């Protein structure tokens, strides 16, 4: 068992009790001083790691440990008006824009186009599993160490300016849509706890997020025009 340590994510203090020191290193950018009063305590166990290894072919125990502790965090987040969301978030003009889609659709490819064509006007927030947390003024995107294979992340909290469902297309087109028309694919990107009370709270939080944040559908190609169309639709601006 590794020594416990604390990280700061989503304006919360989280104490982790992992099995491996590699999990501590994985979270390096979020280390904070230890405290006797963390908001969340999350742990890994040998049993949970074995179960994770049985589900993911080729995974290592160290990688499974990282997954297990984040799942424990995610199970507790609804108590703090927060959920884990599968998507890639970037910051532009002081707001975060969250692109979501099933794995393999091309989120990373699209985000790379923003970096390529807009340069330092764009900053990464989190490339895979940020936390969305309700705030007094809306919704914040909160980065975490859990950022996908690219490890695209920056320790930050940014107001969420829009959620965009990404789809492959032969042309580039974005439109504002009602989230209920795409509720099922959106809900599949939200981590849903198995505990009934936490699950109910998750659904309430997600409904509140969708009521506060503009939602868009983007059909796009791999091109500079895709960025231009997305940028104008999401922000009203031009490169």
Which pLDDT score, from 0 to 100, does residue 190 have?
Answer: 96
Domain borders along the chain are 5-80, 82-235
CATH of 82-235, one of 2.160.10, 3.40.50, 1.10.20, 1.10.3470: 3.40.50
User: pLDDT value at position 59?
Assistant: 86
The whole-number pLDDT of residue 2 equals: 85
Tens-binned pLDDT, residue by residue, of the chain (239 aa): 789 999 999 999 999 999 999 999 999 999 999 998 999 999 999 999 999 999 888 889 999 999 999 999 999 999 999 999 999 999 999 999 999 987 777 788 899 999 999 999 999 999 999 999 999 989 999 999 999 888 999 999 999 999 999 998 899 999 999 988 998 899 999 999 999 999 999 999 999 999 999 999 999 999 999 999 999 999 987 76
State the pLDDT at residue 80: 98
Residue 102's pLDDT is what?
A: 78
| Per-residue pLDDT, 239 | 65
Whole-angstrom distance, CA of residue 93 vs CA of residue 190 = 26
- Contact between residue 23 and residue 66 where contact means Cβ atoms under 8 Å apart: yes
Helices (H) and strands (E) in the chain, counts: 7, 13
pTM (2 d.p.): 0.94
Query: How far apart, in whole angstroms, are the C-alpha atoms of residue 23 and residue 49?
Result: 13
pLDDT of 61: 95
Q: What's the distance, Cα to Cα, between the start and end of the chain in Å?
A: 50
């Amino acid at each position: 068992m590794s020594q416990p340590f604390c990280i700061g994510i989503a304006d919360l203090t989280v104490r982790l009790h992992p099995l491996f020191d590699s999990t501590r290193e994985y979270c390096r950018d979020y280390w904070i001083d230890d405290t006797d009063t963390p908001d969340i305590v999350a742990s890994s166990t040998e049993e949970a790691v074995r179960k994770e290894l049985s589900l993911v072919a080729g995974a290592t125990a160290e990688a499974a440990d990282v997954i297990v502790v984040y799942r424990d965090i995610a199970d507790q987040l609804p108590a703090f008006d927060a959920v884990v969301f599968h998507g890639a978030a970037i910051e532009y003009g002081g707001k975060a824009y969250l692109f979501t889609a099933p794995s393999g659709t091309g989120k990373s490819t699209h985000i790379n186009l923003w970096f390529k064509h807009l340069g330092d006007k764009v900053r990464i927030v989190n490339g895979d599993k940020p936390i969305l947390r309700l705030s007094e003024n809306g919704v914040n995107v909160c980065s975490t160490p859990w950022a996908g294979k690219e490890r695209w992340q920056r320790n930050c909290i940014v107001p969420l300016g829009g959620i965009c469902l990404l789809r492959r297309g032969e042309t580039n087109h974005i439109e504002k849509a009602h989230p209920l028309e795409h509720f099922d694919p959106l809900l599949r990107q939200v981590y849903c706890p198995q505990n009934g009370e936490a699950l109910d709270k998750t659904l309430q939080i997600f409904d509140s997020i969708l009521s506060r944040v503009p939602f868009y559908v983007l059909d796009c190609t791999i091109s500079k025009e895709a960025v231009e169309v997305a940028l104008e639709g999401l922000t009203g601006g031009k490169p």
